[in-house]
Amino acid sequence: MGTTIPLFPLKLVAFPGENLNLHIFEPRYKQLVKDCIGENSGFGICVYTDRLLSHGTVVKLLEVYKEYDDGRMDIKTRGVRPFRIVTFENPIGDRLYAGGEVELLENDEKVSNDLYEEFIFYLKKMLKLLHAEVDLDARVIDSFTFAHQLGLKIEEEYQLLLMEKETDRMEFLTGHLKKMLPVVRGIEKARERIKMNGHFRSLDPLDF
């Protein structure tokens, strides 16, 4: 049995556990937020590229951070769980916004220690190259935690969202990291060469 929720199409993929800040300015979404506050409920962010895609993520409204005189709002939300759209109505009932019935996806969180350690190994290498100062050992990390920082295209982020097993997601991201690390290293080396232009360099003597 599905659940009927308000739906908010956006050109992004929201992941479970992700904190997402949104600026709300359209009348239909101002109404959506007020309804969620009144009913103490969440809403669904569904992915829109050149068309509405079939899956998205339920998000919980954490707070209205700021409300402007003209009714615009800055809100804080957190991703909860992926879903598949069963029905889509725009608008739904007498409301201004879209909504529909959704089926919540399952999530098998089991993953082997070997795969987890391999994923963390390559993730650390990537974050170091990106100069991200993050202590991974002090945090609980899953496949969604840094997914937006790893250079995935929106189509790849969407593919990750559809996977219902943590094993599949970590294997997918580990493979992506292995492909991307040489590319990022090459970009870093190019940046270093650019920095050296115009400077005096000490070169190693060649033995020939």
Instruction: Render pLDDT for 85-131 as a digit per residue (tens, 0 to 9).
Output: 999 999 999 999 999 999 999 999 999 999 999 999 999 999 988 88
Separation between Cα atoms, residue 74 and residue 97, nearest integer Å: 18
Fold topology of 3-104: 2.30.130
Contact in structure between 157 and 102 (CB atoms under 8 Å): no
- pTM across the whole model: 0.85
Residue type, 194: I
Which are the contacts of 176, defined by CB distance < 8 A and separation ≥ 6? 150, 151, 152, 156
pLDDT at 200: 47
Give per-residue pLDDT as tens, 170-200: 999 999 999 999 988 877 666 665 555 554 4
Separation between Cα atoms, residue 113 and residue 119, nearest integer Å: 10
Find tokens 């029905």 and name the residue. 87
Which are the contacts of 81, defined by CB distance < 8 A and separation ≥ 6? 16, 57, 58, 104, 105, 107
Tell me how crowded residue 173 is: count the other CB atoms within 10 A of its CB: 22
Contact in structure between 6 and 32 (CB atoms under 8 Å): yes
Separation between Cα atoms, residue 120 and residue 118, nearest integer Å: 6
Greater pLDDT, 190 or 167: 167
pLDDT at 17: 95
Distance between alpha carbon 51 and the CA centroid of its chain, in Å?
19
Separation between Cα atoms, residue 47 and residue 8, nearest integer Å: 9
Residue range(s) occupied by CATH 2.30.130.40 in the chain:
3-104
The DSSP code for 131 is T
Considering the chain, what is the average pLDDT of its residues?
90
Separation between Cα atoms, residue 97 and residue 85, nearest integer Å: 15
Helix spans in the chain (H): 27-39, 113-129, 154-162, 166-196
